[in-house]
Amino acid sequence: MPVTVLIGGARSGKSALAIRMARAAGTRVALIATAEPRDAEMAARIARHRAERPADWATVEEPLDLGTALTAVVDDDFVVLDCLTLWVSNAMEAGLDDETIGARAAEHAKVAAARPGGGVVVTNEVGLGIVPAHEVSRRYRDVLGRVNAIWCDAADEALLLVAGRALRLERLAR
Q: 47: which residues sit within 8 A by CB, 6+ positions away?
A: none
Q: What's the sign of the alpha-carbon dihedral 46, 48, 53, 55?
A: positive
C-alpha 15, offset from chain centre: 9
Closest by CA to 66, choosing from 99, 33, 37, 41, is 33
Rounded Cα–Cα distance for residues 104 and 140 (Å): 16
- Catalytic residue IDs: 49
- What stretches of 25-83 show up as alpha helix (H) in DSSP? 40-52, 66-72
Instruction: Decide: 21 and 4 in contact? Cβ < 8 Å.
Output: yes
